[in-house]
Amino acid sequence: MAVSRKTFLVNNASWMLVVALILLWELICVSLNVPRYLFPAPTAVWEAGVARWEIISKHAFQTFFTTMVGFGLAVAFGLLTGMAVGTSPLVYRALYPLMIGFNSIPKVAFVPVLVVWFGIGTTPAILTAFSISFFPVMVNVATGLATLEPELEDVLRSMGASKLDILRKVGLPRSMPYFFASLKVAITLAFVGSVISETVASNLGIGYLMMAASSSMDMPLVFAGLIVIGLMGVVMYELFAYLEKRLTGWANRGSDI
Amino acid sequence: MAFVDFEHVSLAYDEGGPLAIEDISFSVQENEFVAVVGPSGCGKSTLMKLVSGLTEPTEGYVYLGGRQVAGPQKCIGMAFQASNLLPWRTTLDNLMLPLEIVQPYRSQFRRRKQEFIEQARALLARVGLAGAENKYPWELSGGMQQRASICRALIHKPRLLMLDEPFGALDAFTREELWCMLQDLWQEDPFTVILVTHDLREAVFLADTVYVLSKGPGQIVAQKQIDEARPRSLEFTYSKPFADNVQELREHIGRIRAVQ
Ligand SMILES: Nc1ncnc2c1ncn2[C@@H]1O[C@H](COP(=O)(O)OP(=O)(O)OP(=O)(O)O)[C@@H](O)[C@H]1O
Ligand SMILES: [Mg+2]
């Protein structure tokens, strides 16, 4: 009995916490009588969301699109450079400091430059999403490859395996858990990237919608936008978490967590 | 010419740095079982890397099968203290790995896959792992993992098997079981073995010849022939000649310690 109650809690804790927080939020807004234009109650946000569904979904689709394209590019380039950095000490030495420097630049500071180059709208959003989510993919793939056990490498080399053989048979499969872990981080960062860019330089996308709504004090719409972004992030995260579990379950030694 | 030949081999890992091994000369005949013992850090693992061409000697020459070793060799089997099985492959698939890499199996792999699978199954059954084919390495006990690791080192029928403390992490019972397993495999279808170990009893039980290395830089301080009949059974470990041999080796090691 105690055990089953505990498993029930563990399985449903996330939903219950969300519901509890919404209730608390509603309670605070109603009991303190907070004005809508400062901090709208969940019911008000819900109303705004339902009433303006068409406009929200249009912007949400734009954000989803730029995020996924930027994320896709980040995964492709992250895999390639990660493989280069992880397998070649020369590339590692040459590229790593550059990459660290590149990653240290706040991406929002770079958006105006992108605007000068590409104009406002889709392209800067894609590039910001790309540049912010590229780094974790590269680092994780490189780490997965570089931490190959030396003895295992000796075993393979003494069979006459080429570098490419080692990469294909051992290096890449072994770095898959690292890769999937990075996808979960990268997808949420990619959303952050496109929304930042849309806030600064776009007339489409959730970032723009929230910017426009808050300048007209339409707080319920701002919060509806926030929640849509959050939801998209959670859905994509869960998708990659599921893929991770399916494809690299061996890394957890068959356990469930 | 012997199968493995060391001629005055020295090696320093860092140029101009301290020598890891110094002026080592010895040879191993084809299908001979050789054990190398010595204190920790004396260069035993280094010796194995030299034979397999993973490192090059600073001085001297290493020959394998009549040819000077230059670069990684093609057909050597290796196993270490850690089993190094791939956790995303089942035991059977782990055994198939060398066949996917080593020629001529590699180019025949698609065509003869079924046949190879049967060979791998047969080998697993030989070492008592029948039924574990589709299990993942983490589902096996340490001893079972080590059996699988040795199978993987042998599946492509290498002429030389190199073992670096393969039984170091196992309990005494399992270790003795695996000694017998290894001896059986070796007698059934002979190959050359170089076994690195800390365990003098293991060396005496398994080897035809035992070499004792001194500590830093490693030099051969003794060579001991173990002329006992094969197959040796575990009863042998309780016999007088066995104890005498172990005792003699222990004295050599003791002398190394005393010098320091
Ligand atoms: N990759 C390396 N780079 C530099 N020095 C090394 C390297 N590998 C080993 N050495 C040095 O070479 C010497 C011999 O090392 P080796 O690993 O061959 O010892 P070992 O006899 O196998 O020891 P153990 O019994 O503990 O495994 C040691 O002094 C060690 O510090
Ligand atoms: Mg060693």
Write the DSSP assignment of B143-188 as a string of letters: HHHHHHHHHHHHTT--SEEEEESTTTTS-HHHHHHHHHHHHHHHHH
pLDDT at position A257, please?
A: 41
Structural domain contains residue B111? yes
State the burial class of residue A36 (Cβ atoms within 10 Å of its Cβ: 0-12, 13-18, 19+): middle
**Sheet of B67-68, strand order:** B19-28, B4-12, B59-64, B67-68
Give the model's pLDDT for residue B197.
92
How much is the average pLDDT of B199-221? 90
Q: Is there a domain that residue B11 lies in?
A: no
Please count the structural domains in chain B: 1
Topology, domain A41-251? MetI-like fold (1.10.3720)
Residue B84 and residue A165: Cβ atoms within 8 Å? no
Q: Which of B44, B64, B69, B86 to mutate to test the interface with A (most CBs of A within 10 A)?
A: B86
Percent of chain A with pLDDT over 90: 63
Residue B202: pLDDT over 90: yes
Res. A256 pLDDT band, cuts 50 70 90: very low
Question: What are A175-208's pLDDT values in tens digits?
Answer: 999 999 999 999 999 999 999 999 988 889 999 9
Does ligand 1 come within 6 angstroms of the Cβ of B49? Answer: no
Matching residue, tokens 């004396």? B42
Q: Which residues of A touch B156 (CB under 8 A)?
A: 159
Chain B contact present for A159, CB below 8 A:
yes
Ligand 1 atom closest to the CA of B43, numbered from 1: 18
Residue A254: predicted pLDDT:
54
Q: How near does any CA of chain A get to the CA of B253, in Å?
A: 27
Dist CA A225 CA A40 (whole Å): 13
CATH number at residue B90: 3.40.50.300
- A80-136 tens-digit pLDDT: 999 999 888 899 899 888 888 988 988 888 899 999 999 988 999 999 999 999 999
pLDDT at A255: 54
Residue B202 within a domain: yes
Pair A169, B100: CB distance under 8 Å: yes
- B43 close to ligand 1 (CB < 6 Angstrom): yes
Query: Strands of B76-79's sheet, edge to edge?
Result: B76-79, B160-164, B192-197, B33-37, B209-213, B220-225
pLDDT of residue A252: 77
Helices (H), chain B: 44-51, 91-101, 105-108, 113-126, 142-154, 172-188, 200-206, 240-259
Cβ contact (<8 Å) for A160 and B138?
A: no
Mean pLDDT of A42-53: 91
Cα B34 to Cα B204: distance, rounded to the nearest angstrom: 10
The CB of B44 under 6 Å from ligand 1? The reply is yes
The answer, for B86 touching chain A at a CB cutoff of 8 Å, is yes
Could you tell me the pLDDT band of residue B153, with boundaries at 50, 70 and 90? very high
Whether B137 maps to a domain, the answer reads: yes
pLDDT of B75: 78
Q: Give me the residue spans of the domains in chain A.
A: 1-33, 41-251
Residue B27 has pLDDT above 70, yes or no: yes
B148 CB neighbours in chain A (<8 A) are none
Q: Decide if B119 is inside a domain.
A: yes
Asked if residue B190 belongs to a domain, the reply is yes
Mean pLDDT of A3-27: 89
Residue A84: predicted pLDDT: 92
Residue with tokens 């073992």, as numbered in its chain: B163
Closest among B121, B123, B143, B146 to B134, alpha carbons compared:
B121
Question: Which amino acid makes up residue A68?
Answer: M
User: Which ligand places an atom closest to the C-alpha of A150?
Assistant: 1
CA distances from B198 to A59, A106, B30, B168, B250 (A): 69, 55, 24, 8, 11
Name all contacts of B104-109 with Cβ < 8 Å and 24+ positions apart: B105/B156
How far is it, in rounded angstroms, from Cα A242 to Cα A248?
10
So what's the pLDDT on residue B92? 94
Q: Is residue B59 part of a domain?
A: no
Question: For residue B217, which ligand has an atom nearest its CA?
Answer: 1
Is there a contact between B24 and B219 (Cβ–Cβ < 8 Å)? yes
Q: Is residue B14 part of a domain?
A: no
User: Which range marks the domain in which residue B35 is found?
Assistant: 29-54+70-258
Q: Which of A152, A154, A175, A244 to mutate to test the interface with B (most CBs of B within 10 A)?
A: A154
Q: How many CB pairs under 8 A join A and B?
A: 67
Q: What's residue A251's pLDDT?
A: 82
Average pLDDT over residues B183-189: 91
User: Residue A127 in contact with residue A114, Cβ under 8 Å?
Assistant: yes
* The pLDDT of residue A1: 53
pLDDT at B17: 84
Q: Is the pLDDT of residue B39 over 50?
A: yes
